[in-house]
């Protein structure tokens, strides 16, 4: 998302705060704070590196970013990401056709009512998504538990995004621009994990087969 002033993304180095234009530093700082607030406590305890695409940051500006990140429970690693450094090595190959082809955020906790997670990439939750919780991301959503909140995958129009859960009971399910709501009647418990994907012009739920 290069139109953004900044973005928090996952990489093989962990979380990376990418600044697209250092010249707009005040606006960058505001945008970064909004992203940290929107992500609630999901980034707490993590370490982030910094990548500047255009321009350069002064020492004072770098200190300001570190103070902001620290206020939200994160630590700034001032060493640049390995993939942001000049190198004669070929980039490391990544598995094809997997979630690793995009940025993926791993959440090792249950997302509780009132919590909202917005992310540019895929989201994997090792826990439940409770009613009243919300996940919105541009990629896939995988929940290794029960999904009973709101889930919006492929939020920027990615029609081949999926939503996977061990128990798929969302109050609202969205993929790209399509919306599916929970049925009024209670359905029988499925025989295994479920997956939602776009088929034709609607969202289809089915039991996941390996």
> Which residues have a Cβ under 8 Å from the Cβ of 133 and sit 6 or more positions away?
111, 112, 113, 114, 115, 116, 149, 150
27 and 123 in a single domain? The answer is: no
pLDDT in tens, 3-47: 578 887 765 556 788 888 888 999 999 988 888 887 656 677 778
Q: Which residues of 23-56 are buried (b: 16+ CB within 10 A; e: fewer)?
A: ebbeebbebbeebbeebbebbeebebbbbbeeee
Q: What are the tokens at 102?
A: 């995009």
Q: Is residue 92 part of a domain?
A: no
Q: Domain count of the chain?
A: 2
Percent of the chain scoring above 90 in pLDDT = 32
> Which residues have a Cβ under 8 Å from the Cβ of 11 and sit 6 or more positions away?
81, 83, 103
Picking from 14-23, 27-36, 61-70, 176-185, which range would have the lowest pLDDT averaged per residue? Answer: 176-185
Q: CB–CB of 3/83 below 8 Å?
A: no
Which whole-number Å values give the CA distances from 171 to 2, 28, 119, in the listed order? 32, 35, 20
Q: Is residue 11 part of a domain?
A: yes
Task: Point out which residues pair with 16 in neighbouring strands.
Answer: 9, 49
Mean pLDDT computed over every residue of the chain: 79
Residue 188 is predicted with a pLDDT of 58
75 and 103 in a single domain? The answer is: no
Q: What are the tokens at 87?
A: 């190198």
105 and 160 in a single domain? The answer is: yes
- β 194-199/202-207 pair status: antiparallel
Q: Is residue 57 part of a domain?
A: yes
Is residue 172 scored above 60 in pLDDT?
Answer: yes
Residue 1 is predicted with a pLDDT of 39
CATH number at residue 157: 2.160.20.70
67 and 108 in a single domain? The answer is: no
Residue 77 is predicted with a pLDDT of 83
CA 182, 35, 106, 101 torsion-angle sign: positive
Report the alpha-carbon distance of residue 186 to residue 183 in Å, rounded.
Answer: 7
Residue 163 is predicted with a pLDDT of 95
Q: With 0-12 CB in 10 A as exposed, 13-18 as middle and 19+ as buried, what is 57?
A: middle
Is residue 55 scored above 90 in pLDDT?
Answer: no
Closest CA to 120 of 149, 154, 150: 154
More confident residue, 61 or 94: 61
Confidence of residue 48 (pLDDT cuts 50, 70, 90): confident
Structural domain of 15: 6-84
Q: Is residue 91 part of a domain?
A: no
200 and 105 in a single domain? The answer is: yes
Helix (H) or strand (E) holding 197: strand 194-199
Residue 162 is predicted with a pLDDT of 95
Q: Is residue 94 part of a domain?
A: no
CATH number at residue 34: 3.30.750.50
More confident residue, 101 or 70: 70
Displacement of CA 47 from its chain's centroid (Å) = 16
pLDDT in tens, 72-107: 888 888 776 544 433 333 333 333 333 344 578 888
Percent of the chain scoring above 70 in pLDDT = 76
pLDDT in tens, 116-136: 888 888 999 999 999 999 999
């Amino acid at each position: 998302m290069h139109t953004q002033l900044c973005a928090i993304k996952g990489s093989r180095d962990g979380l990376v705060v990418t600044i697209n234009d250092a010249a707009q530093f005040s606006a960058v700082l505001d945008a970064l704070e909004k992203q940290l607030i929107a992500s609630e406590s999901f980034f707490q305890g993590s370490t982030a590196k910094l990548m500047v695409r255009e321009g350069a940051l002064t020492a004072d500006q770098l200190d300001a970013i570190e103070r902001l990140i620290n206020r939200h429970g994160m630590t700034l690693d001032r060493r640049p990401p390995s993939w942001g450094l000049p190198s004669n090595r070929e980039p490391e190959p990544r598995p094809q056709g997997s979630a690793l082809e995009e940025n993926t955020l791993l959440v090792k906790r249950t997302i509780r009512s009132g919590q909202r997670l917005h992310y540019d990439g895929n989201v994997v939750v090792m826990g439940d998504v409770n009613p009243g919780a919300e996940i919105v991301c541009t990629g896939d959503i995988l929940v290794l538990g029960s999904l009973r909140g709101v889930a919006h995958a492929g939020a920027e129009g990615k029609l081949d995004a999926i939503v996977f859960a061990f128990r798929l009971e969302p109050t609202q399910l969205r993929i790209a621009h399509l919306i599916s709501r929970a049925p009024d009647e209670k359905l029988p418990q499925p025989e295994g994990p479920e997956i939602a994907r776009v088929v034709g012009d609607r969202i289809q739920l089915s039991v996941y087969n390996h």
